[in-house]
């Protein structure tokens, strides 16, 4: 296993712990103690994945993410966000297209490793499926859309689970703010529409196969 993973957190304790965990599992961890150090390291290093904490100072995770996605040399790097802070519906809606997964702190090592491997597996699967789709004659724009849909559906479903849990809507008798219910309903609609579009593209692929 040669995948390199950058760990971005302003807590040395968290960075050291994840560094040891990833090293033990055969990954190549790269420590970055904050958003500024992350961006500086990325000028010369391009990891296969970035683990990015949200609650950092002075540059938080969302701001760091924006810099990553604005830079053509780093926009393609998958990002797994993690935080003890509950992600809000607005944050989920604004950033879901830019991240590849979200894990809540305190981090369960098994869950964390599962999320990391899921990202790598999805990337490998999509790359292979893209080659097959191109060979079948699908146009490049459709192939690119297919790749985005595969990722976004999985990320949105994970975020939906997180939002439902944080809102307490699955707890009997819990009073859930209307804004949370609206945001969750919109995310459910988005997932449904994305799945329908993905099926259309799969049908196109089947027709050409």
Give me the percent of the chain exceeding a pLDDT of 70.
96
pLDDT digits (tens, 9 = 90+) for 128-163: 877 777 777 777 888 888 888 888 898 888 888 888
Residue 186 has pLDDT above 80, yes or no: yes
**Whole-angstrom Cα Rg for the chain:** 18
Measured in whole angstroms, the distance separating CA 142 from the mean position of its chain's CA atoms is 22
- Compute the distance between CA of residue 21 and CA of residue 84 in angstroms, rounded to an integer: 19
pLDDT tier at 208, thresholds 50, 70, 90: low
Res 172: pLDDT: 65
Alpha helices in 79-177 (DSSP H): 89-95, 109-135, 140-167
pLDDT digits (tens, 9 = 90+) for 15-44: 999 999 999 999 999 999 999 999 999 999
Mean pLDDT of 167-184: 77
- Compute the distance between CA of residue 159 and CA of residue 183 in angstroms, rounded to an integer: 11
- 89 φ, ψ to 5°? -55, -40
**12-24 vs 109-135: helix crossing angle, rounded to 10:** 60
Cis check: omega of the bond before 87, within 30 degrees of 0: no
Would you give the end-to-end CA distance of the chain in angstroms? 33
Measured in whole angstroms, the distance separating CA 30 from the mean position of its chain's CA atoms is 18
Kind of pairing between the strands at 28-32 and 4-8 = parallel
Res 207: pLDDT: 65
Q: Is 0.85 topped by the overall pTM?
A: no
Which two tokens mark 201? Answer: 């593209």
Strand runs labelled E in the chain = 4-8, 28-32, 49-53, 79-83, 101-104
pLDDT tier at 206, thresholds 50, 70, 90: low
């Amino acid at each position: 296993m040669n995948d390199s993973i950058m760990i971005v957190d302003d807590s040395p304790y968290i960075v050291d712990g994840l560094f040891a965990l990833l090293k033990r599992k055969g990954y190549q961890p790269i420590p970055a103690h904050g958003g500024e150090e992350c961006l500086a390291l990325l000028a010369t290093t391009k990891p296969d994945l970035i683990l990015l904490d949200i609650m950092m100072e002075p540059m938080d995770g969302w701001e760091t993410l924006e810099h990553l996605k604005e830079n053509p040399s780093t926009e393609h790097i998958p990002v797994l966000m993690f935080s003890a802070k509950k992600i809000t519906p607005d944050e989920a809606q604004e950033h879901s297209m830019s991240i590849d997964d979200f894990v809540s702190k305190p981090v369960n090592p098994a869950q964390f490793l599962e999320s990391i491997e899921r990202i790598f597996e999805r990337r490998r699967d999509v790359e292979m499926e893209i080659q097959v789709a191109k060979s079948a004659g699908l146009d490049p724009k459709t192939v690119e859309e297919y790749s985005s849909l595969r990722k976004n559906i999985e990320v949105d479903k994970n975020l939906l689970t997180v939002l439902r849990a944080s809102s307490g809507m699955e707890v009997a008798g819990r009073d859930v703010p209307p804004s949370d219910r609206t945001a969750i309903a919109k995310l459910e609609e988005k997932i449904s529409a994305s799945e329908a579009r993905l099926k259309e593209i799969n049908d196109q692929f089947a027709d050409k196969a």
